[in-house]
Structure 1
Amino acid sequence: MKHDLTLTQRLRTSGLWMALGTFAGHGLRFGSSLVLTRLLMPEHFGVMALATVLMVAVSLLSDIGIQPALINSPRARDPVFLSTLYSLQLLRSTAIFLLCCLLALGVHHAAAAGWFAAGSVYTAPELPWLIVGTAVGALINGGHSIKLLTATRDLQIGRVTVLELVCQACGLLAAAFAAYLSRSVFALLVAPLVVSMLKLPLSRYVLAGPPDRLGWDPSVVREVLHQARWIILSTVFTMVMMNADRLFLASVIDPATLGQYAIALAVYSVFDAVLLQTQSKLVYPAFSEVTRSRPADLPRIRKRTQFWLDLGLGVLAGGLSAMAVTLVEFLYDDRYAGAGPMLAVLALGMVFTRSGVAQAVFMSAGKFHKLTLVNALSAALLLILLPIGHALGGLMGAITVVAAYRLPGQILIWVLEARMGFAWTPRELLVLPALALGWGLGWGLRSLLALFGA
């Protein structure tokens, strides 16, 4: 059986599948974005970006740590354990849907009462309906098979990757067709809804594992909720870190400018998502298995993982920053030109994605309180510095804050890791020369393209 293979063999196979799935998936979304930006207006993307952020914020605030519980628990193959997690997943998705409906109603009445600045994204009449539409997708997601999580735990990524790519391709084609027919912002709802609906049967019948059943074991609930106190706190801060930029900017800029920012984030995420997927689907499950079976090897494996991540991350971030304006000009029409300088600044902040390795160490060791401390510091700084950055430097000042606010959190990570026996070494700064190398390579490529008139 696949889980009888060595960790290295499963990492190698899963890594190939994950790389294929991430590049192909974001390639599909990126291609769809190029089509949709020609069929829809920048303000459509701005309003949809805010609706998505609000739904994601509710989802994160209701996170009780189902996936970490499954990855860390020795009972992960117990049918009673799995049925209880499935029931918790359904309850959570229902709560997300109901809370989002209440939020949409609140936004509608607040806009009607004049609580928001005139012309801000919060006053868009489509916003409440888009919030409800994204919440329907979250409700459907609750019925997805728990096999999606068990496959990640066991580093069996192949079938999950194929399943997700098929669903994404169908959803994006449907969205492009809807946008062509309607030229409406509601076409942007089509892709996530189609993906959610397709995953519902496919996750049950394509993936291997026991059938999903409802169940309830109080001991399992206690096990999940025991670590959930720290996970809930951590995800509250994560929610702020992931969404505060758009929640704040939506109150001070118009929908079209927020749409340009959403496009800059979309291009950024094509690259950043590879790193995040690597950490969540490979590094964290691998570190958890090492912690369970041979914890003495974890420092060596952590050091090697961080080295290669820093090297690739620095080159990628620097190159993307140097090429950002040229890339946006090549891909999009003049309505989205403002996204180029935004992307150039955002790309530099990608270097802080390196902290995901340390976060995987904390989580695999059950040290969720350390992760919470780091996220609390970063979230607090973002909330404090965003309005200051905007007051001092306008939109680009706020975006600079978005790129740089995680620096103190990185320093705190080094302190917390040192207390766990992971001593700091100068190799932790490898990302900086790699960043300079990447920027130089990107600048050279940009100069060559300009020389030949490309």
Structure 2
Amino acid sequence: MSQDADATTELSEPQQSRKAMASRALGSGAWSTINFGVAQVMRLGSNLILTRLLSPDDFGLMALVTSCMIGLTMFSDMGLGPSIAQSKRGDDPDFLNTAWTIKVIRGFIILAVAIVMAWPMSIFFNAPAFAWIFPTAAASMVVGGFFPTRIDTAARHLQLRRLTIIELTNQFLGILILIALALIMRNVWALAIGSVMGAFVQLAMFHYFLPGHIDRFGMERTAREEIVKFGKWIFFSTICGFLLFQGDRIILGRILTLEQLGIFNIGQFLGTLPAVLGAAIASRLFIPIYREHPPGESAENRRALQRIRGGFSLLLMSMAIVLSLVGPSVVDFLYDSRYLHAGGILVAVACIQMLIVIPMSYETAALASGDSRAFFILQSSRAGIYIVTLLIGVWLFGLAGLLAGQALAQLFCYPVAVWTARRQGAWDPRHDLIAASIAVAAAAFALTLHRDIVAAALLH
């Protein structure tokens, strides 16, 4: 009798583990969604205020500065966050100290490179003010280098409640700083200086209100070797990631005026909300899940992951569909006549997002298993396909061709995503087929419904 009871207990342990994982995943996903939702509402509110204090030219210039800062960040990324999330030593003080020291050094390198790049890039974009604004804004990366590894360990253990509260508080304080500076300065310098001041606020908040390991300068050889081994492929992957997520703005910086770029940036900001939310959730949710319950290990793990992925895709797809249907009305209500064509850009971008979110959870499968090389192959293939389709589209049809190239790139990149997912036993073809069918139907309906608005925006 006791043996039967023990057997029942043993059989129930995996089920209990999966239930615990599902509960933690649900909680973490909820906090990530709350973080994203409140943050985007605050960001939208700040944009509405700042668009009335600053000109579209200011937003266009800051979009270029932001894209180049993201580029420097991604070109120097060693995958420190994912390294801490997936490593067995992710809670080891020596490992964390080594990761933090590397991050601090990296922040100073980014600033030095920004200073060197500023003048040539200002000539490339034909924007003289870029030479001074860019290094000023890049100083925030030095401050960001001192952010504690407690941020990464909280995400590693899906302990996101306190982290979410701190991050939202940081954003709120940063917005207040930006608005105050914009009221005083009334030009793009308010955005650049505000980003640096906001970084100092974030550092103080994380230091005093997020518990955990106190980082010290240190460089343990074993930890450094593990980080470099894992991070070398992340480094190359993030270079490709920059081309994927910022390549369109760099290209548009050459073919649009700063005013047109500012309008495009508003439409893209609203239209890409689903993908931004998906990236925020995936980076904090799926790596711990894949690490603790690999889908290739058992059918039960795969089924549990399929349910989580289904809910994840349903949330993102619903957001994209709603934005594609009501986006122009939202833009008309929120912004003045200078941003009229942002509504058409929003519809087109939201339709593309329906395709982007389908394989989004596959990217983290390789990172969770420590296979950063497979992740690099995925990202480099996607980047190559993406840039080629964008350049061909821009060359043939301008802005309309660029957006069409983005959509085609998602179709051409899908086989590579499948290859990555199958290596980890994570591919879910039924999910992808259903999601793709919904995406194509919804995008066709939205583009037909708003065809005049979209056409006017793309030909503007």
> Could you give the per-residue CA deviations for residues 62-87 of structure 1, whole angstroms, max 9, x where no partner exists?
11111111011111221111111111
Aligned length, in residue pairs: 433
Alignment of 1:97-246 (within 5 A): 97-108=111-122, 111=123, 116=124, 122-246=125-249
- Which one is further off, 209-218 or 411-420? 411-420
User: Closer, same or farther in 2 for the Cα pair 1:260/1:272, shift >3 Å?
Assistant: same
d(CA) in 1 for partners of 2:241, 2:441: 30
| Unpaired stretches in structure 2, ≥5 consecutive residues | 1-18, 451-460
Name which of structure 1's ranges 302-311 and 343-352 shifts more when overlaid on structure 2. Answer: 302-311
Partner of 2:413: 409
- What is aligned with 1:41? 55
Q: Secondary structure at the residue paired with 1:55?
A: helix
Once residues 427 and 41 of structure 2 are traced to their aligned partners in structure 1, the CA distance between those partners, rounded to angstroms, is 39
Q: Residue 362 of structure 2 corresponds to which residue in structure 1? A: 358
* Structure 1 residue 7 corresponds to structure 2 residue 7: no
Native 8 Å contact 1:171 1:190 kept in 2: no
Alignment partner of 1:68 is 2:82: yes
1:297 to 1:194, Cα distance in 2 relative to 1, 3 A: farther
Partner residue, 1:451: none
Q: Assess if the C-alpha contact under 8 Å between 1:53 and 1:247 holds in 2.
A: yes
5 Å-filtered alignment, 1:370-385, equals: 370-385=374-389
Aligned-partner Cα distance in 2 for 1:293–1:426: 17
Following superposition, the deviation at residue 297 of structure 1 comes to 4.5
> In 1, are the aligned partners of 2:84 and 2:156 still within 8 Å (CA)?
yes
Distance 1:300 1:26 in 2: 32
Q: 2:422 is matched with which residue?
A: 418
2:308 aligned partner: 305
Q: Distance in 1 between matches of 2:427 and 2:20?
A: 28
Distance 1:68 1:239, change over 3 A: same
Distance 1:441 1:151, change over 3 A: farther
Q: Conserved in 2, the CA contact under 8 Å of 1:276 and 1:353? A: no
Find runs of 4+ consecutive structure 1 residues off by over 4 angstroms.
292-297, 436-446
Q: Which moved more, 1:411-420 or 1:368-377?
A: 411-420
Q: Which amino acid aligns with 1:159?
A: R
* 1: CA distance, partners of 2:237 / 2:345: 28
1:343 Cα deviation from its structure 2 partner: 1.3
What is the alpha-carbon distance in structure 2 between the residues aligned to residue 418 and residue 14 of structure 1?
26
Unaligned runs of 5+ in 1: 117-121, 447-454
Q: Percent identity?
A: 26
SS of corresponding position for 1:405: helix
C-alpha contact (below 8 Å) 2:67/2:250 kept by paired residues: yes
Q: Establish whether residue 428 from structure 1 lines up as the match of residue 432 from structure 2.
A: yes
Deviation at 1:216, TM superposition (A): 1.1
Change (3 A) 1:407 1:134: farther
| TM-score of the superposed pair, with normalisation by structure 2 | 0.87
Relative to structure 1, the CA distance from residue 384 to residue 431 in structure 2 (aligned partners, 3 Å threshold; closer, same or farther) is same
- Equivalent residue for 2:252, pick from 249, 273, 277: 249
Question: Which of 78, 81, 84 is matched with 2:95 structurally?
Answer: 81
CA displacement, residues 288-326 of structure 1 (integer Å, 9 cap, x when unaligned): 222499766542233223322333333322232222322
* One-letter identity of the residue aligned with 2:311: W
How far off is 1:253 after superposition?
Answer: 1.2
Structure 1 length-normalised TM: 0.89
Deviation at 1:439, TM superposition (A): 5.8
Residues 172 and 415 of structure 1, relative CA distance in 2, 3 Å threshold: same
Contact 1:11–1:282 under 8 Å retained in 2: yes
Aligned CA distance change for structure 1 residues 198 and 422 (closer, same or farther; 3 Å): closer
Q: Which amino acid aligns with 1:207?
A: L
> Distance between the aligned counterparts of 2:448 and 2:400, measured in 1?
25
